[in-house]
Amino acid sequence: MSETETLPAAGSAPATAPLLSVRNLRVEFPTRRGTLVALDDVSFDIHPGEVLGVVGESGAGKSMTGAAIIGLLEPPGRIAAGSISLAGKRIDNLPYEQMRRIRGREIGAIFQDPLTTLNPLYTVGRQLVETITTHLPVGPAEARRRAIEWLELVGIPAAAQRVDSYPHEFSGGMRQRVVIALALCAEPKLVVADEPTTALDVSIQAQVIALLKRLAREKGTAMMLVTHDMGVIAETADRVAVMYAGRIIEIGAVRSVVKEAAHPYTAGLMGSIPPISHRVERLEQIDGAMPRLSAIPPGCPYNPRCPRVFDKCLTLRPELLDAGATRAACWLYDPK
Amino acid sequence: MFAFIVSRILQALPVMLTVSLISFAMFAYVGDPVAIMLGQDFTEAQRQALVQQLGLDQPFFVQFATFLGNAVQGEFGLSYRLSRPVAELIAERAPATLELALCAAFIALAVGVPMGVYTGLYRHSWLSRFFLTFSLIGVSLPTFLIGILLILTFSVWLGWLPSFGRGDVARLGWWSTGFLSWSGIKALILPAITLGLFQLTLIMRLVRSEMLEVLRTDYIKFARARGLPNRMVHFGHALKNTLVPVITIAGLQLGAIIAFAIVTETVFQWPGMGLLFIQSVGAADIPVMAAYLMLIAAVFVTINLIVDLLYYAVDPRLRIGRGGGH
Ligand SMILES: Nc1ncnc2c1ncn2[C@@H]1O[C@H](COP(=O)(O)OP(=O)(O)O)[C@@H](O)[C@H]1O
Ligand code: SF4
Ligand SMILES: [Mg+2]
Residue pLDDT, tens place only, B28-70:
676 666 776 676 777 788 878 877 777 777 777 888 888 888 8
Does one domain contain both B129 and B257? yes
Residue pLDDT, tens place only, B231-279:
999 999 999 999 878 888 888 888 888 888 888 888 888 888 888 988 8
Domain count, chain B: 2
Does one domain contain both B122 and B48? no
Does one domain contain both B121 and B31? no
Q: Cβ of A315 under 8 Å from any chain B Cβ?
A: no
CA–CA distance, A289 with A97 (Å, rounded to integer): 40
Superfamily of domain covering A14-273? P-loop containing nucleotide triphosphate hydrolases (3.40.50.300)
Going by C-alpha positions, the residue among B20, B192, B4, B19 that lies closest to residue B96 is: B192
Does one domain contain both B43 and B145? no
Pocket of ligand 1 (CB under 6 A): A 29, 36, 38, 56, 58-64, 74, 77, 293
Residues of B whose CB is below 8 A from A100: 224, 227-230
Residues of A whose CB is below 8 A from B230: 100
CA–CA distance, B261 with B196 (Å, rounded to integer): 10
CA–CA distance, B256 with B244 (Å, rounded to integer): 19
Provide Rg for chain A, Cα atoms: 20
Residue B37 lies in a domain: yes
> Tell me, what's the pLDDT at B170?
77
Residue A77 CA, distance from chain mean position: 18
CATH number for the domain that contains residue B128: 1.10.3720.10
Residue B61 lies in a domain: yes
Does one domain contain both B37 and B118? no
In terms of DSSP bridges, do strands A190-194 and A222-226 run parallel, antiparallel, or are they unpaired? parallel
- Say whether A142 sits in a helix, a strand or coil: helix
CA–CA distance, B289 with B311 (Å, rounded to integer): 33
Burial A37-58 (b: 16+ CB within 10 A, else e): bbbbbbbbbbbbbbbbbbbbbe
Give the ligand whose atoms come closest to the C-alpha of residue A62.
1
Determine the residue of chain B that is closest to A182 in CA distance. Answer: B226
* Inter-chain CB proximity A134 and B241 less than 8 Å: no
| Amino acid type, A104 | G
Give B22: exposed, middle or buried? Use CB within 10 Å, 0-12, 13-18, 19+: middle
Q: Which residues surround ligand 3, an ion (CB under 5 A)?
A: A 63
Q: Which of A156-160, A226-230, B82-86, B90-94 has the highest mean pLDDT?
A: A156-160
Domain boundaries, chain A: 14-273
Residue pLDDT, tens place only, B158-203:
888 887 888 777 787 778 887 778 888 888 888 999 989 988 998 9
Does one domain contain both B121 and B50? no
Residue B129 lies in a domain: yes
> Tell me, what's the pLDDT at B326?
39
Determine the residue of chain A that is closest to B218 in CA distance. Answer: A117
Residue B143 CA, distance from chain mean position: 15
Give the ligand whose atoms come closest to the C-alpha of residue A61.
1
pTM of the model: 0.82
Signed CA dihedral, A210, A213, A219, A221: sign only: positive
Q: How many whole angstroms from B49 Cα to the centroid of ligand 1? A: 85
Going by C-alpha positions, the residue among B33, B197, B17 that lies closest to residue B115 is: B197
Mean pLDDT over residues A282-296, rounded? 76
Question: What number is the ipTM of this complex?
Answer: 0.90
Does one domain contain both B238 and B138? yes
Q: Residue with the nearest Cα to atom 4 of ligand 2?
A: A300
Q: Cβ of A118 under 8 Å from any chain B Cβ?
A: yes
Does one domain contain both B95 and B32? no
Mean pLDDT over residues B283-294, rounded? 84
Give the ligand whose atoms come closest to the C-alpha of residue A198.
3
CA–CA distance, A105 with A88 (Å, rounded to integer): 16
- Please indicate whether residue B312 or residue B157 has the higher confidence score (pLDDT): B157
Domain boundary among B24, B39, B72: B72
CA–CA distance, A56 with A274 (Å, rounded to integer): 19
Residue in A120, A123, A179 nearest the CB of B317: A120
- List Cβ neighbours of B292 (8 Å cut-off, separation of 6 or more): B90, B273, B276, B277, B280
Residue B294 lies in a domain: no
Question: Do the Cβ atoms of A311 and A243 come closer than 8 Å?
Answer: no
* Inter-chain CB proximity B228 and A111 less than 8 Å: no
Question: Do the Cβ atoms of B16 and B298 come closer than 8 Å?
Answer: yes
Residue pLDDT, tens place only, B86-130:
888 888 888 889 889 999 999 999 999 999 999 999 988 999 999
pLDDT value at B320 more than 70 = no
Q: Domain residues for B165? A: 87-282
In terms of DSSP bridges, do strands A107-110 and A89-90 run parallel, antiparallel, or are they unpaired? unpaired
Residue B321 lies in a domain: no
Q: Residue with the nearest Cα to atom 1 of ligand 2?
A: A330
CA–CA distance, A143 with A130 (Å, rounded to integer): 8
Question: Do the Cβ atoms of A246 and A59 come closer than 8 Å?
Answer: no
